[in-house]
A and B are shown apart, each in its own frame.
Chain A
Amino acid sequence: NAGVTQTPKFRVLKTGQSMTLLCAQDMNHEYMYWYRQDPGMGLRLIHYSVGEGTTAKGEVPDGYNVSRLKKQNFLLGLESAAPSQTSVYFCASSRLVTTGWVDEQFFGPGTRLTVL
């Protein structure tokens, strides 16, 4: 099992450009998450998904869109990149244990994005 993979690993964008980050998991997990981590900071939740075809906003959703067309994939889109979106982006997945909470989150290796 590959676990959680993220594509690409690194990317440099110019202000105003768009891009999509891909997260894939092979553990059949229901829940998937996108976080961003700025230098020396904790992780902040951008968007999450509780199942195929459903998404919800996290703490810092502005400037990002997501889609979960297939259970194993969770895409994060930046329509018009800004320097404030320079960060490391982590994807995570977890299985549902019972209503209200989930099991441990498995994280991907991260995508380091720089917006000039």
Chain B
Amino acid sequence: DTEVTQTPKHLVMGMTNKKSLKCEQHMGHRAMYWYKQKAKKPPELMFVYSYEKLSINESVPSRFSPECPNSSLLNLHLHALQPEDSALYLCASSPFGSSDTQYFGPGTRLTVL
């Protein structure tokens, strides 16, 4: 089973809202990732968690706050977003680290009004 699940599938929020995106995998992977993907562009790496510790933060604005409660779960907390943050947010996991095969979830389509 190579499944990564993400909820919700779609999210519409105002600029003053606080919301969270959730990601889950049960493959025993120890690395988890958040990517942002704009239309017709490749995914852009936001955060990497390795063994439940934040190992990479690609200079992401503080209005995005990641959290890894345990080895199976990854959250992305959103607060005071801007319309330009509207995008597809993808979660991925890999067995150990960035050089391993990454398995992607279906994504959350976020619209910020």
User: Are A and B physically bound partners?
Assistant: no
